[in-house]
Amino acid sequence: MTRWWWIMGGLGLIAVVATGTVVFSTMARRSTVDATKEMLSMDASSSFTGVPSATSSNQIPAGRLRMVHDPIVKPGELALRVPVLMYHYVRDLTPGMSTSSRWLSVSPEHFRAQMQEVVDGGYHAITPDELDAALNGKATLPAKPVMITFDDGYRDQYENAFPMLKTLGLRATFFIITGYINHNSPVYVTPEMVKEMDASSVATIGAHTKHHPELAKLKRADQKDEIVGSKAYLESLLHHPVTSFAYPYGSYDDAVLKIVTDAGFHTAFTTLLGSVQTSSTRLELRRIRVLDDEHVGPILQKFGSNE
């Protein structure tokens, strides 16, 4: 059966037609690869407070829907609609927090409720390697797939999110800034914590550079040092290949893509909003930033499986 969806995108309404789980999109590729600051400005202007409300918690703000930038799907290539949820801090929100800090934070209480929605909705949390295999035609994803990701390697992810994920049996991917985890900082995870998470049945460890720069603004040698160096450190620590990467600030260019490819990463994640993942954009995968002031049920229904 063929089904149609209409999605609000950066160029207006566009049509998406799907057969089974393969999606064909007519949306043009976005001209910029760093949506972070633009999306922050839009959400800030929408008076986001980080406090759940009856009017906003079950709705996706129209401003965010206008930021959807799914990739062009080339004729004959495989594409899947898989929502990838993106988190940063899992911590209590306080009155003195800046707008950007609130925007990057989800309280433990609300994170627990969001993950329960994933479970109650019948979604199946997958890993980057499972998505890669499916996009290569080597595997089939479960019904209603979703991916849960965390950027930066903050300690509250280990203290607050990781135990909840284990309790609920939900797998997630943690992208680690490797240059920040050896300095006894209370903000970031330690190498021992990374190894503990990696040894569990729910955590996949990915690389997120050494020092979290805007990669597209660096010289080529510095780009390579940040990308390859973070991968090498994690593989030395964990004693197995690290195959997934996330771009700090969503910043990358063609030179960065080549380094990521040559380094041997199978998948890489942007900050571009969307859920259409294609075999030709396995190093430019879309994600959905989750705010404290929303339920994930409507997000997954909007961006989720083709049912």
pLDDT tens for the chain, 307 residues long, are 323 233 333 322 233 333 333 333 333 333 334 444 444 444 433 333 333 443 344 666 666 666 888 998 999 999 999 999 999 999 999 999 999 999 999 999 999 999 999 999 999 999 999 999 999 999 999 999 999 999 999 999 999 999 999 999 999 999 999 999 988 899 999 999 999 999 999 999 999 999 999 999 999 999 999 999 999 999 999 999 999 999 999 999 999 999 999 999 999 999 999 999 999 999 999 999 999 989 999 999 999 855 4
Q: What is the pLDDT of residues 30-65, one digit of tens each?
A: 333 444 444 444 443 333 333 344 334 466 666 666
Return d(Cα 65, Cα 302) in angstroms, integer. Answer: 10
The CATH classification of domain 33-303, taken from the options 3.60.15.10, 3.40.50.880, 3.40.50.12160, 3.20.20.370 = 3.20.20.370
The stretches of 61-190 forming alpha helices (DSSP H) are 62-65, 99-103, 108-120, 128-135, 155-156, 162-168
240: left (phi over 0), alpha (psi -120 to 50) or beta: beta
Tell me the sheet residues that pair with 77. none
| Residue 238 burial (C-beta neighbours within 10 Å; 0-12, 13-18, 19+) | middle
Return d(Cα 257, Cα 254) in angstroms, integer. Answer: 5
Q: Closest Cα partner for 292 from 109, 155, 157? A: 109
Identify the helix (H) or strand (E) that includes residue 36: helix 36-45
pLDDT for res 184: 82
pLDDT for res 306: 57
Q: Closest Cα partner for 174 from 85, 239, 113, 91? A: 85
Q: Are 160 and 91 spatial neighbours (Cβ–Cβ below 8 Å)?
A: yes
Distances (CA, A) of 152 to 88, 96, 163, 237, 306: 7, 22, 18, 17, 31
Q: Residue 163 carries which side chain, given as an amino acid letter?
A: P
Q: Give the chain's mean pLDDT.
A: 84
Q: Are 137 and 76 spatial neighbours (Cβ–Cβ below 8 Å)?
A: no
Q: Closest Cα partner for 282 from 244, 251, 255? A: 244
